[in-house]
Chains A and B, each alone.
Chain A
Amino acid sequence: MEKKILEILSEVKPGVDFEGRTDLIDAGVLASFDIISLVSELNDEFDVEISVVDLVPENFNSVEAMAKMIKRLEDED
């Protein structure tokens, strides 16, 4: 899953090395409109529904955090 998320991230925001980063939101690497594109791609790819409540920095600061959120949403389904 992490690999696929990395692929999506590099499409949404090319030219950034996302691996190992844990401050993607806090450091301003991903802006709010990047988040929206990312959410749309993640929803399509993993067939989940990321809601407004999920849009908090803790869920998007790293690839691992995104994977954890997606797994939780998949389990909730």
Chain B
Amino acid sequence: MNFKENIFLIAFLPIVLLLYYILPKKARWGVLLASSLIFYILSSGIFTFIMLGTSVTIYVAGLLMQKINDNFKKQKSAEGITKEEKKLLKKKATNKKKLVVLAIVIINFGLLLTLKYGNFFLGMVNSIFGTAIPPLSLILPLGISFYTLQAVSYVIDVYRGTCKADKNFGRVLLFVCFFPQIIEGPIGRYDKLAGQLYEGHSFDYDKFMKGLQLMLWGLIKIMVIADRAGIFVSNVFEKIYDADGSILLLGVLLYTIQLYADFSGCMDLVKGIGQLFGIEMADNFKRPFFSTSVNEFWRRWHITLGAWLRDYIFYPISLSKFFANLSAKAKKNFGDFLAKFLPSAFALFFVWFINGLWHGAEVKYIVYGLYYYVVMMLGLLFEPLFVKITNALHINRKSKPYFVFQVIRTFLLVNLGMLIFRANTLADAWYALCAIFSKFNGDIFATSILSYKLHIYDFIVIAIGAVALFIVGVLQERGHHLRDEIAKRNIVIRWTIYFAALFILVIVGAYGEGYRVADFLYAQF
């Protein structure tokens, strides 16, 4: 089932909402659990047991660590115990908990690696050793890349003491499989999300309406802009060697628009569905194309993935003893700047390698991750030089023109990343990049642009859509809360806006011949 399908929007969601609000508050989380399981079973059938297995492992791990903690507390409060003995007990308890976390990481990431990357590794074995082991027929359960990260974060949070282990398996299961987030996130945290899921919320008209508005906005982004742009993009990247450089350039630009509209639109839809139940889910986008650096872009794009990698990969590596020693050595042997740069470069490598690999079992995804790593490292390394150059040229780094320059520079760098991400192979990406500069012909552009299954009307719709996204982004950057502002208007204006949005979705949405209900782009990761 997909959130854009009629069966979900007209039948599944309304029934779940009705049941949620007519049942007593105490039973409401049960409605969410039952509906999430039904949603998962309808999408994944028998393979639901894989998601259930992950939930069981983290539930048991949580209880085990709680038991270790309780035992430690009991032992340390025993009479006559010395400070040294307390320290020893703490160390023993921590080591035991570390083993539990390690087991969970090995089991769950082992499962993810096997199912998602099994054939990729097999292909590598075949090419290195000249063997011909046939590929395995592996299935990829719905949302495994997302829920595995979320599930593991629960165990690590219990280990760190930032949340307590839950004694109720149903509640842990709901945290893992809550249906709005299961397809492509956001990757929730137990301390922020779980309480909201278990608490029975009262019906709140304003929140409900705001949820509907957000869903409508998300659907417009997806069905008016993304699905339409996707038709052109698919056709261009299918016949990449036949296309002129100008078409390829437009293909990359439209892919960037498509991916943003699709993924952020899906997140609006997900957040909107959450708000219908009174649940606030984490933000995954914060107007990424207003970023002044690639580093900032990744703090505004797929925020929950970046935060996960930061909290569970980057920080633990950076604060490890090995890292502290490396830092101390760098300080001793190099200047202050390199002492700061080298250890960060070391820790960030893992972050970006994993970021790339997480997106898929292909070399191009690893290169995609490492591309951002290289861009960021070069940015850090040359930062002092940039400062000197801009100072020498008397450029005010806080001026508006410099801000615009930085935003455009970031946008171009991100588009290059998008090309690596979308091209079928690295060779295709390289070819397209070269062709954009060497095979650029305006005449061919004019004669061939309509041969990619999009009418001129479609390009106009996409362009208007992109401008609308930009204007909304500018207003939000300036501190406007558009949904609140609409809610304050009188009933005539308010409903005119709602109906206009619905009208746009129905009339301009990408339906009918040549269109189909497309899968969410990020669901494949």
Contacts and interface: CB of A to CB of B under 8 A. Distances in A.
A53 B344 contact: no
B264 to A, nearest CB: 19
Contacts of B343: 36
A37 B340 contact: yes
A36 B319 CA distance: 8
Contact of A52 (B299, B316, B336, B380): B316
Given A32-B310, A32-B315, A40 B295 contact: no
B314 interface: yes
A52 B340 contact: no
Given A33-B380, A37-B340, A55 B311 contact: yes
B160 interface: yes
B380 A55 contact: no
B348 A40 contact: no
Interface in A7-65: 11-12, 28, 31-33, 36-37, 39-40, 50-53, 55
A68 B344 CA distance: 26
Contact of B318 (A11, A28, A31, A36): A36
Contacts of A37: 340, 344
Contacts of A12: 340
Contacts of A55: 311, 315, 319
Contacts of A11: 336
B162 interface: yes
A52 B324 contact: no
A33 B339 CA distance: 12
Given A52-B160, A52-B311, A53-B162, A33 B348 contact: yes
Nearest to B307: A32
Nearest to B160: A53
B344 A36 contact: yes
A37 to B, nearest CB: 5
Contacts of B295: 31
B344 A39 contact: no
Question: Which of A12, A37, A51: most chain B Cβ within 10 A?
Answer: A37
Nearest to B347: A36
B24 interface: no
Contacts of A33: 340, 344, 347-348, 380
Contacts of B311: 52, 55
Contacts of B336: 11
A12 B327 CA distance: 14
B85 interface: no
Task: Provide the main secondary structure of the chain A interface.
Answer: helix
Interface residues of A, number: 15
A50 B254 CA distance: 45
Contacts of B442: none
A31 B405 CA distance: 21
Given A28-B299, A32-B310, A33-B348, A39 B319 contact: yes
A40 B311 CA distance: 17
B423 to A, nearest CB: 30
B266 to A, nearest CB: 25
B161 interface: yes
Interface string B342-356: 011001100000000
B206 interface: no
Given A28-B296, A32-B314, A36-B343, A52 B319 contact: yes
Contacts of A50: 319
Contacts of A39: 318-319
Nearest to B156: A52
B315 A52 contact: yes
Contacts of A36: 315, 318-319, 343-344, 347
Nearest to A55: B315
Interface string B301-342: 000000000110011101100001001000000001000100
A11 B339 CA distance: 13
B380 to A, nearest CB: 7
A33 B348 CA distance: 9
B277 to A, nearest CB: 27
Nearest to A37: B340
5 contacts: A31-B295, A32-B314, A36-B315, A39-B318, A53-B161
Given A28-B299, A32-B314, A36-B347, 9 more contacts: A12-B340, A28-B296, A33-B347, A33-B380, A36-B344, A37-B340, A52-B316, A55-B315, A55-B319
Interface of A: 11-12, 28, 31-33, 36-37, 39-40, 50-53, 55
**Interface pairs A-B: 8 shortest CB-CB:** A33-B344, A36-B318, A53-B160, A52-B315, A37-B340, A32-B310, A55-B315, A52-B316
